A and B are shown apart, each in its own frame.
Chain A
Amino acid sequence: MARIDLDLAHAYGPNPRSDEDYALLPLRFTFDDGGAYALLGPSGCGKTTLLNCISGLLRPSQGTVSFDGRDVTGDSPQARNIAQVFQFPVIYDTMTVGQNLAFPLRNRGVPAAQVRERVGQVAEMLDLSAVLDRQASGLSADAKQKISLGRGLVRHDVAAILFDEPLTVIDPHLKWQLRRKLKQIHREFHLTLIYVTHDQTEALTFADQVVVMSRGKAVQVGTADALFERPAHTFVGHFIGSPGMNFLPARWRDGWIELAGRRYAPPADEAIAQRLQAAGAFKIGVRPEYLRLARPDDEQAVPAVIERAQDIGTYWIAAARLQDHAGGAGVEGTDGIVGANGIVGADGSPLLRARLGDEAAALRPGETAWFSVFHRHTCYYVDEELVR
């Protein structure tokens, strides 16, 4: 078990010049001893590269990796005493389950009696005791992944266990079980766990701290709550949540917020108001979960034409087009796709998504509905960064 300090950058090619050449931009981060972390981001954002730098499979092209203050940048994975579980289960075909679990210990010359004891414990923990003498190659994908995990757990002195999208090939209902097993192991053994995934549910349920990555950069680090309530970057707003955060382009005019040609009261927080005034143009970020239907005579409500309302089982998702009363500023809806204009409606105008209760059943396409957008959950973004 160890605290892991990173201060590194990595480029796969030689002589990186622009940011584009880096798989991992210069990054400084500390994984605390015994923490459960998730690295979350879309494919190709550098999360696996980061993981391999930690495990030692990859040497960062610049910077250092330290475990408990000791520089291990040049050390092999074996010397770092790291365990890693990969996306596809890796098992040794010619061995039984028990031999698979014993393999890392045997390679390190651990006495046979001790090996047997550890293998027994780990098999017990992972419910593999019944199949210990079976050939590992004949088992199902989730059992194989448990063996991969078990090979990490048998060494009780591992510095950290790294997971590289370990549940990708597992059936959904077993995914849930395995994830719970991981949490349980984390609680019992206080291991440092680092979990790479592109699945936000997995990251948010597994980890105490989630590191959201985009294009080789750690965009935000925080608890599930913080990522949801106060995304530090519009990317995080887009990426976390389903559907993602709505971003509405707005302007500051004469002490008012101008949104789609209508005027609204500025935020109560003086500091934020000043920053918005200085910036002139900004974006209003609001989660679909925090959009509520409002009365038409509400001064602070935003009118939008309903495009469709969909029943998603326990809730409704309403998509609405903001009516532009002045021309110019449109509305940027979002569905996790980051583009210049986000998601646009059928006729080319932008959409707003709201997660509503049964009251949405009354909404008819073509009608104008009023949404309350401004409240304490509303975030403001200047140059894609959260205004605090």
Chain B
Amino acid sequence: MKPINQKAWLLVLPVVVCVAFSAILPLMTIVNYSVQDIISPERRVFVGTEWFRAVLRDGELHDALLRQLGFSLAVLLVEIPLGILLALSMPARGWKASAVLVIVALSLLIPWNVVGTIWQIFGRTDIGLLGAALAGLGFDYNYTGNALDAWLTVLVMDVWHWTPLVGLLCYAGLRAIPDAYYQAAQIDGASRWAVFRHIQLPKLRGVLMIAVLLRFMDSFMIYTEPFVLTGGGPGNATTFLSQYLTQKAVGQFDLGPAAAFSIVYFLIILLLCFVLYNWMQRAGTVAEEVPHA
């Protein structure tokens, strides 16, 4: 039997301390808030799961959650195929590849609130290029007044901001495919679609998984852009989950319900990521589980 050396714990300690301060302690603070009614800094009452029950019954929150799910779904449905298309159409090598890489990456360098500001001005019907152009073409476009317009503007803004990330990830994935695969496909007489379906897409599985998870988590937590663009309006049209949470926690200072909701929010993201990850791990390899005689 090997002697047990307890000193190994010392080596793990720095990580434990870092994670404790960055994740566990803040999370525990939230857990602490979520079971109390904080009336004033000096007065607090233990309320058990009351806030959780209240949060789960909150109609406004349900609406925000549905909006959020719809938004994230739309983001994934648009950005992933678009990103793949973008990557496929980017030049593979030479100075053109470098130039296109820089241009594509530009939008990723812009801070969230600036993106919001850019689109706020861009979409204005009086001075904005997009808004004025649409108005000129006879469209009744108004993101401050029309709920659908506002929702679509936020979606288009997110697509503009983040599709390049998906594109760059896929581009890296595509470049990692050895030439022999394309050569073999050429020799086997594969069509362009067959090359995509049987070589490129399977080889992109890893990066696509990362892209989907990143875009899902990011879009599910979207806050700054709609806040700058519409402030969550008109009405509640662009009030997504984090916006709603901020209104509760900072606006109304309802710390207890906000904390309870934070935990629920966190669990939703965790659950959905888990489901997505497992689904994608298995996609395309189902046949492998067929037992062989």
Which A residues fall within an 8 A CB radius of B?
52, 55, 57, 76-78, 82-84, 86-88, 90, 92-96, 103-104, 107-108, 131, 133-135, 137-138, 148, 151-152
Contact = CB atoms under 8 A, between A and B. Distances in A.
Contact of A78 (B189, B287, B288, B292): B189
Contacts of A90: 180-181, 183-184
B202 interface: yes
20 contacts: A57-B186, A76-B186, A77-B186, A77-B187, A82-B187, A88-B178, A90-B184, A92-B199, A93-B284, A94-B202, A96-B287, A103-B190, A104-B187, A104-B188, A107-B188, A107-B191, A133-B292, A135-B290, A137-B288, A138-B288
Contact of B194 (A87, A107, A133, A137): A107
Contacts, number: 69
Contacts of A94: 197-198, 202, 284-285
A87 B292 contact: no
Interface in B244-293: 284-285, 287-288, 290, 292
Interface in B178-210: 178, 180-181, 183-184, 186-191, 194, 197-199, 202-203
Contacts of A135: 285, 287-288, 290
B199 to A, nearest CB: 7
Contacts of A93: 198, 202-203, 284
A292 B183 CA distance: 50
A105 to B, nearest CB: 9
B190 to A, nearest CB: 5
A355 B101 CA distance: 59
Contact of B187 (A78, A88, A131): A78
Contact of B183 (A86, A96, A151): A86
B180 A86 contact: yes
Contacts of A77: 183, 186-187
A55 B288 contact: no
A44 to B, nearest CB: 17
Contacts of A138: 288
Given A87-B180, A92-B199, A133-B290, A107 B186 contact: no
Nearest to A80: B187
Given A92-B199, A94-B198, A103 B287 contact: no
A83 B188 CA distance: 8
A76 to B, nearest CB: 7
A133 B186 CA distance: 24
Interface of B: 178, 180-181, 183-184, 186-191, 194, 197-199, 202-203, 284-285, 287-288, 290, 292
Nearest to A96: B287
Contacts of A88: 178, 180
Nearest to A154: B188
Nearest to B205: A93
The 10 closest A-B pairs by CB, nearest first: A90-B184, A107-B189, A135-B288, A104-B188, A86-B180, A78-B189, A93-B202, A92-B198, A77-B187, A94-B202
A55 to B, nearest CB: 7
Contacts of B202: 92-94
Given A86-B184, A107-B191, A108-B189, 5 more contacts: A57-B187, A84-B187, A88-B180, A107-B188, A107-B189
B286 to A, nearest CB: 9
B190 A107 contact: yes
Contact of A103 (B186, B188, B285, B288): B188
A164 to B, nearest CB: 8
A52 B181 CA distance: 14
A78 B180 contact: no
A270 to B, nearest CB: 53
Contacts of A83: 187
A95 B198 contact: yes
A95 B190 CA distance: 14
B66 to A, nearest CB: 35
A87 B179 CA distance: 11
A113 B184 CA distance: 24
B198 to A, nearest CB: 5
Contacts of B191: 107
A95 B287 CA distance: 9
A52 B183 CA distance: 10
A162 B29 CA distance: 67
Contacts of B284: 93-94
The residue among A90, A134, A151 with the most chain B CB atoms within 10 A of its own CB is A90
A16 B123 CA distance: 56
Nearest to A88: B180
Q: Which of A55, A77, A82, A108 has the most CB of B within 10 A?
A: A77
A82 B198 CA distance: 21
A78 B186 contact: yes
- The CB with the most chain A CB atoms within 10 A, among B184, B189, B191, B198, is that of B184
A84 B202 CA distance: 22
Contacts of A57: 183, 186-187
Contacts of B194: 107
A148 B184 contact: yes
A93 B186 CA distance: 17
A251 to B, nearest CB: 51
A83 B187 CA distance: 6
B217 to A, nearest CB: 27
Identify which of B180, B190, B285 gathers the most chain A CB atoms within 10 Å of its CB: B180
Contacts of A108: 189
Contacts of B189: 78, 104, 107-108
Interface centre among B190, B284, B287 (most CB of A within 10 A): B287
Given A78-B189, A95-B198, A104-B189, A84 B183 contact: yes
A151 B188 contact: yes
A77 B187 CA distance: 5
B285 to A, nearest CB: 7
Contacts of A95: 198
A26 B183 CA distance: 25
